[in-house]
Structure 1
């Protein structure tokens, strides 16, 4: 598996990973409610994903294995992780953890000592297990009540990264 910056040609496959991950893996968040699911998926189109790839103030990364995108992740230059979605076909293989490490490394490269994110209920335990802690009031995302604001210090990783 290789993690790299996404290119415009990755947009359709990356979009498909996002849509499948949300639809199939985030049931604890959307509860199969068609209105919530529609709101969450509304901006997950190949055209919009292509626009995210082209943004200059964030990085959209993909993990690729045998030509297939397994994970899509994005981090802003301010250190906020805004995407980390795994294909249902690659769940529990460590690819999300590898993507998280790559996103944190990119945040460090951009001068950040702290990473923030808004976690789904589905991913909350994953982020806790990777050093994130609740950091703020729960938010309402796409009609769900499961936007857990979380943060992690990247200071220790900066020391390890520099060593």
Structure 2
């Protein structure tokens, strides 16, 4: 993984949010962000059903997240402000965005959008002309506002609500 850095996000204090490759030492904080974001921000998807929520969170452990930092063909990025992890995202070398979760207290600060741009940039670096993802109900409008279009019938991937296959042309040269 390269030393990708971005200063696209701005915190409430005006400090820059850096986006960088995650390292195994980020795993506990990144895991906390994932679990809090899903639990608190994705209620439209899991409906506070403990069975659905527990299944969704089952692979969100520090050990598994640490493994994602070393997974071949996968880029795990974090948005950080100082030492605090504010958001976690992942994109495969094939351009599939697998994660884009923000800490509840960092929502609506531009962090998710900056992370999404970084994920798209990483996909473009890998030679992709298009990014794909499956959006939650919660994030569907966010992705539409970022230029993603629905690309298939909704699935039952996320809890009680549909998962939305989406794509966006990012224009990278092969």
Same-fold call, TM cutoff 0.5: yes
After the TM superposition, which parts of structure 1 deviate over 6 Å for at least 4 consecutive aligned residues? none
Q: Secondary structure at the match of 1:54?
A: coil
Q: Aligned to 1:140, which of 156, 170, 173?
A: 156
Distance in 2, matches of 1:70 and 1:144, equals: 26
TM-score normalized with structure 2 length? 0.88
Q: Is the 8 A contact 2:44 2:161 kept in 1?
A: no
Q: Aligned to 1:17, which of 33, 53, 68?
A: 33
Q: Is the 8 A contact 1:39 1:142 kept in 2?
A: no
| 2:105 match | 89
| 1:62 match | 78
Cα gap change, 1:152 to 1:142, in 2 (>3 Å): closer
TM-score normalized with structure 1 length? 0.94
Q: Secondary structure at the match of 1:149?
A: strand
* Higher helix proportion: 1
1:27 aligns with 2:43: yes
- Counterparts of residues 53-132 of structure 1 (less than 5 Å): 53-132=69-148
- Counterparts of residues 140-159 of structure 1 (less than 5 Å): 140-155=156-171, 158=172
Runs (5+) with no aligned partner, structure 2: 1-16
Runs (5+) with no aligned partner, structure 1: none
- Structure 1 position 33, deviation (Å): 0.5
